[in-house]
Chains A and B, each alone.
Chain A
């Protein structure tokens, strides 16, 4: 069931607020020490005790450098803020200093955001609000600084980092690809809580400010300049007398110092001359009625997208509104209070948990593989094969794309080309980079060159005998170290590996379609798969930019197995006469990114039928639900889903509205079941679907398919679209209460039997409320 198509997690995608794992809160409290030492040591000794912030005065410019010790990134932690405040006070007190440059000593990071641990350590909304207010105060001082402060930005400038920069009088950023600005707080269920909701609208205008804060997306430097977020851009430098990264930062500092002096001697203006469009927009925003309309439209759009399930975007709108309509004092108050409230919501906790899981799933816990995969061959140039090629070939890996027919091959190569060409159009790469990248992709029909291949990923038809055939063909032509990865969505890997001479080199790599959009990669190991093979597969997946979960072999592994009972239940609900549109509405209002019926159409009715059969065979009646005949009849009639233009819905090119497929409705009528009223309320419909999904996920942990709940949550959210604000099935059980879930399931069990029998693990948790998957 790899065809989980075309939706992206709007609320959680590459997340960026920074987590400070070194746990700065728990370390020795240096300020405590300092209190004693202050009296003993001469003034200049003080600097030695600052570990996060340092400064030097160049001519009349104070250059303040931020550098969190023991971390790759800078975060706004408590010690950092305190040292910053001290340094600022010293600088302000120093009459010889006429201006300030604020810069990071880390090559790829300005300030990546607030320290999440700092927020997580708080026990109440009031505590978080207090944190926010402290931040606001500090940035207010920066904003009102008597001497100009220039923020020199290289690398990520996110969340609190951006809010810091916004408070400065002038901003210079490098054009490096690593330089991104943004407020990703919304993805963690939070809001920019240190003045961001107040300063951004004033700086870039209401529409852009909402766009930045509500999407949380990363903004590249050139775009930031256009928006008015930064004043000047600086080019990254190549290697010269020093390493390119080092010299670029030095250069940025030199240029920023130049600007700082320029601002002081008035040769550099602080305000930008506004264009006509900008003036028009400002004029329009001055009209209360226009602003009201904007709030309304934005709120409506947010409600549409989130179904009201995510509180953060609405709070962001409230804060902006308060600041603009009631004055900045009210705005800042609203911001800090809402920040505190949001930090305590289960939604935010779930999203933060997902972020942490995502960071963990971007690491290779199997170590560095003995050999790097430099040459990869992909068998089958279909949607999947070509998708895998696309995400690999631009990572410095030579890719052979092999198919059996020219038509298929050419379609696949076109798909890859289109993918890169789209990037050219978006200007994220040049046409030249597209061409050189495409030159690393070889399309072919035979096995020539396979003697140099380090790994083969097969994406051929889901049929065991075909898989065996290609496995044998591949092993005959590849070197002994070559790994054979199979991109199957359901066939047990050990069955495929049975035909292998080198089963230790066989592994499952389950990608999700469309491969270039879906972030998850499920890697499946058998008992025989060697650790180095796993390490190699994970390393390649990470190179491809995937979030990876590694699971044990078994029918349907983890993701397909969770989805399967839910689809079976969906079918039964359809047979019981629930309208597809209503089912979709119920599932999206529960938080799924697309309706469950549409999902089935996207996956493919034939695929669903195939998987359904296999899974029932493996697990017996427990995985039953609706009558499989319904789907087989549909497949016979050609209603295989979106790809065929007809499934439960009719899909027409160019038309966005979907209509019910009347012929499918007919089939459903033929197999109509009566809906037992005791378990057919809207809420029951939702929980019948969800409880089977969740129960199966827990079963996977119980059986050892999953090695931990975190990977289960990541897999469900990033691979199957489990509602991100619930954090995944495991976090859902924690928050919802295992006992409550078991109660619901018991009710359904009475009607439908063993399909709703709660697994042992769930029952254990239900009995003992202190048992949680997350502490």
Chain B
């Protein structure tokens, strides 16, 4: 069973950027509103069930998933199809046939062809980038209603011919005579047929993400046991949330020929004993990251509806939260690859003038979260690497990812960002909190505040 937890071994998807976003609950008194800046609200957020790659979504293309999320959002909010001003999606591994996957999804969903859509990419925080792009469009007065989301399918990936083969094929196109063609064909060697997989390594450093992550945990002295415990926690909490019906953002999706799916299928609460038996996957035999302590390959899509506050109220919506502030920061892609949250969190807090203690809900992407927790709690790291006077502080783990996270729910690279934001907002509502902070690392870092 463990073999299903094929982990994300692509550091490509977690480059040096980091993100954090601050969300504020709309009922809150202290809204952190900024004079002269429009209030931007999150009306609703949804996602398709996140499924292990190669399972039920096996025959879907990315735009099918993106469309499902989009339609689900429109249905849930009863938003008229012509009321959307703009659509932005994030994705990481692009299907070359649908490189602007946002546009294909919108057209497929029956949204007016006059409504523009574009696709962004920023590794694991692609959806965060989509959301902040939407925030920018609304803040600038360009749009009032924007759908932002993300999508990823790892069940299908663009596997290419080798460069030599591609070259031959392209030249073949131009060859005029039969003899020219035959000459070209005769040059094809067996080696030309070796396929090229999507890069499994960080382009700039040639290191796989899993490898990098294992080095990072070692650098911060995160033990195997701590990681196993955290994985266990993630799965247990996710299971609890699923059973309690807290994952209300999950849509029911009809997969042709396979029925309706309405639950994530990667949540597998097991026991510490079982987790201890797993072998390290990236650095053998002495690494500490196992299939359980890394995200499995996941398919899924997510979407959120963002509006200016006036527009939302005018349309009769009850906004769930304000999106108050965000930052993206970048780090050295070799040694600081997955440390986004540590860098981005203090920055966004300072920008908003609140402290770690004010935050009620933390939703962090679970990529190397333990190393991040240790980094935030280290004066040495703060002084040496972040140029701060003192450490960020201890992150209260009792407020963190209480409904599961990327380890248990799964991590469709492009879609995780919007899931984090929606989960944070829904938790704020449920728990009655005021501020939520979303942070993720990847090719980026952001903090979400929820009011």
Q: Which residues of A contact B384 (CB under 8 A)?
A: 239, 243
One of A232, A239, A255, A432 near B219 (C-beta < 8 A): A239
Structural contact, A238 and B335, CB atoms closer than 8 A: yes
Structural contact, A235 and B381, CB atoms closer than 8 A: no
Residue of A237, A240, A244, A268 most packed against chain B (CB within 10 A): A240
Interface digits, B356-378 against A, CB 8 Å rule (1 contact, 0 not)? 00000000000000010011001
Could you tell me the distance between the alpha carbons of A244 and B283 in the complex, rounded to whole angstroms? 19
One of B214, B283, B285, B380 near A241 (C-beta < 8 A): B380
One of B203, B205, B335 near A237 (C-beta < 8 A): B335
Structural contact, A241 and B332, CB atoms closer than 8 A: no
Q: Which residues of B contact A235 (CB under 8 A)?
A: 211, 214-215, 218, 283
B contact patch SS: loop
Given contacts A234-B286, A235-B283, A259-B286, contact A240 B206 (CB under 8 A): no
Structural contact, A232 and B336, CB atoms closer than 8 A: no
Question: Does A258 touch B at the CB level, under 8 Å?
Answer: yes
Structural contact, A238 and B216, CB atoms closer than 8 A: yes
Given contacts A239-B384, A432-B203, contact A244 B219 (CB under 8 A): yes
Question: Does A746 touch B at the CB level, under 8 Å?
Answer: no
Structural contact, A237 and B219, CB atoms closer than 8 A: yes
One of A238, A239, A258 near B286 (C-beta < 8 A): A258
Question: Does A297 touch B at the CB level, under 8 Å?
Answer: no
Question: Does A50 touch B at the CB level, under 8 Å?
Answer: no
Q: Which residues of A contact B219 (CB under 8 A)?
A: 237-241, 244, 247, 251
Question: Does B263 touch A at the CB level, under 8 Å?
Answer: no
Interface digits, B198-231 against A, CB 8 Å rule (1 contact, 0 not)? 0000011110000100111011110000000000
Structural contact, B335 and A430, CB atoms closer than 8 A: no
Residue of A234, A236, A241 most packed against chain B (CB within 10 A): A241
Closest B residue by C-beta to A433: B204
Q: Which residues of B contact A247 (CB under 8 A)?
A: 218-219, 221
Closest A residue by C-beta to B202: A432
Which residues 262-307 in B have Cβ within 8 Å of A in the complex? 283, 285-286
Could you tell me the distance between the alpha carbons of A255 and B221 in the complex, rounded to whole angstroms? 12
Q: Which residues of B contact A242 (CB under 8 A)?
A: 380
Closest A residue by C-beta to B207: A235
Given contacts A235-B211, A259-B286, contact A240 B205 (CB under 8 A): no
Question: Does B38 touch A at the CB level, under 8 Å?
Answer: no
Structural contact, B215 and A237, CB atoms closer than 8 A: yes
Question: Does B27 touch A at the CB level, under 8 Å?
Answer: no
Structural contact, A237 and B380, CB atoms closer than 8 A: no
Could you tell me the distance between the alpha carbons of A241 and B378 in the complex, rounded to whole angstroms? 6
Question: Does B83 touch A at the CB level, under 8 Å?
Answer: no
Question: Does B260 touch A at the CB level, under 8 Å?
Answer: no
Question: Does B334 touch A at the CB level, under 8 Å?
Answer: yes
Q: Which residues of B contact A259 (CB under 8 A)?
A: 286
Question: Does B385 touch A at the CB level, under 8 Å?
Answer: yes
Closest A residue by C-beta to B381: A241
Q: Which residues of B contact A251 (CB under 8 A)?
A: 218-219
Q: Which residues of B contact A241 (CB under 8 A)?
A: 219-221, 374-375, 378, 380-381
Q: Which residues of B contact A262 (CB under 8 A)?
A: 285
Q: Which residues of A contact B336 (CB under 8 A)?
A: 238-239
Q: Which residues of A contact B216 (CB under 8 A)?
A: 238, 240
**A265 CB to nearest B CB, Å:** 13
**A221 CB to nearest B CB, Å:** 14
Q: Which residues of B contact A239 (CB under 8 A)?
A: 219, 335-336, 381, 384-385
Q: Which residues of A contact B378 (CB under 8 A)?
A: 240-241
Closest A residue by C-beta to B284: A232
Interface digits, B172-190 against A, CB 8 Å rule (1 contact, 0 not)? 0000000000000000000
Could you tell me the distance between the alpha carbons of A242 and B384 in the complex, rounded to whole angstroms? 9
Q: Which residues of A contact B283 (CB under 8 A)?
A: 235
Could you tell me the distance between the alpha carbons of A258 and B207 in the complex, rounded to whole angstroms? 24
Q: Which residues of A contact B221 (CB under 8 A)?
A: 240-241, 247
Structural contact, A240 and B203, CB atoms closer than 8 A: no
Structural contact, A240 and B334, CB atoms closer than 8 A: no
Interface residues on A, range: 20 to 34
Could you tell me the distance between the alpha carbons of A258 and B221 in the complex, rounded to whole angstroms? 15
**B234 CB to nearest A CB, Å:** 22
Interface digits, B328-363 against A, CB 8 Å rule (1 contact, 0 not)? 000010111000000000000000000000000000
Could you tell me the distance between the alpha carbons of A607 and B334 in the complex, rounded to whole angstroms? 48
**B287 CB to nearest A CB, Å:** 9
Could you tell me the distance between the alpha carbons of A262 and B286 in the complex, rounded to whole angstroms? 10
Structural contact, A238 and B332, CB atoms closer than 8 A: yes
**A429 CB to nearest B CB, Å:** 10
Could you tell me the distance between the alpha carbons of A268 and B375 in the complex, rounded to whole angstroms? 33
Interface digits, A245-281 against B, CB 8 Å rule (1 contact, 0 not)? 0010001000100110010000010000000000000
Could you tell me the distance between the alpha carbons of A430 and B201 in the complex, rounded to whole angstroms? 12
**B222 CB to nearest A CB, Å:** 9
Could you tell me the distance between the alpha carbons of A268 and B286 in the complex, rounded to whole angstroms? 11
**A492 CB to nearest B CB, Å:** 48
Given contacts A235-B283, A430-B206, contact A240 B374 (CB under 8 A): yes
**B154 CB to nearest A CB, Å:** 25
Which residues 390-416 in A have Cβ within 8 Å of B in the complex? none
Closest B residue by C-beta to A259: B286
One of A244, A255, A268, A432 near B335 (C-beta < 8 A): A244
Q: Which residues of A contact B335 (CB under 8 A)?
A: 237-239, 244
One of A232, A236, A240, A255 near B220 (C-beta < 8 A): A240
**B394 CB to nearest A CB, Å:** 14
**A304 CB to nearest B CB, Å:** 36
**A264 CB to nearest B CB, Å:** 15
Could you tell me the distance between the alpha carbons of A240 and B336 in the complex, rounded to whole angstroms? 9
Closest A residue by C-beta to B282: A235
Q: Which residues of B contact A236 (CB under 8 A)?
A: 215
Closest B residue by C-beta to A432: B204
Q: Which residues of A contact B205 (CB under 8 A)?
A: 430, 432
Q: Which residues of B contact A432 (CB under 8 A)?
A: 203-206
Closest A residue by C-beta to B217: A240
**B374 CB to nearest A CB, Å:** 6
Q: Which residues of A contact B206 (CB under 8 A)?
A: 430, 432
**A245 CB to nearest B CB, Å:** 12
**B429 CB to nearest A CB, Å:** 37
Could you tell me the distance between the alpha carbons of A242 and B221 in the complex, rounded to whole angstroms? 10
Could you tell me the distance between the alpha carbons of A459 and B171 in the complex, rounded to whole angstroms? 43
Could you tell me the distance between the alpha carbons of A237 and B287 in the complex, rounded to whole angstroms? 13
Could you tell me the distance between the alpha carbons of A243 and B381 in the complex, rounded to whole angstroms? 9
Q: Which residues of A contact B381 (CB under 8 A)?
A: 239-241
Could you tell me the distance between the alpha carbons of A251 and B220 in the complex, rounded to whole angstroms? 10
Q: Which residues of A contact B286 (CB under 8 A)?
A: 232, 234, 255, 258-259
Could you tell me the distance between the alpha carbons of A259 and B335 in the complex, rounded to whole angstroms? 25
Could you tell me the distance between the alpha carbons of A238 and B334 in the complex, rounded to whole angstroms? 8
Closest B residue by C-beta to A251: B218
Q: Which residues of A contact B211 (CB under 8 A)?
A: 235
**B148 CB to nearest A CB, Å:** 31
Given contacts A235-B211, A247-B219, contact A240 B204 (CB under 8 A): no
Could you tell me the distance between the alpha carbons of A237 and B206 in the complex, rounded to whole angstroms? 15
Closest B residue by C-beta to A248: B219
**Listed A/B pairs (24) with beta-carbon separation below 8 Å:** A232-B286, A235-B214, A235-B215, A235-B218, A238-B215, A238-B334, A238-B335, A239-B336, A239-B384, A239-B385, A240-B219, A240-B371, A240-B381, A241-B374, A241-B375, A241-B380, A243-B384, A244-B219, A251-B219, A255-B286, A258-B286, A262-B285, A430-B205, A432-B204
List 17 other contacts, CB 8 Å, given A237-B335, A238-B219, A268-B285: A235-B283, A237-B215, A238-B216, A238-B332, A239-B219, A239-B384, A240-B371, A241-B219, A241-B221, A241-B380, A243-B384, A244-B335, A247-B219, A258-B286, A430-B205, A432-B203, A432-B204
List chain A positions with a Cβ less than 8 A from chain B.
232, 234-244, 247, 251, 255, 258-259, 262, 268, 430, 432
List chain B positions with a Cβ less than 8 A from chain A.
203-206, 211, 214-216, 218-221, 283, 285-286, 332, 334-336, 371, 374-375, 378, 380-381, 384-385
3 smallest beta-carbon distances between A and B, as pairs = A238-B335, A240-B219, A237-B219
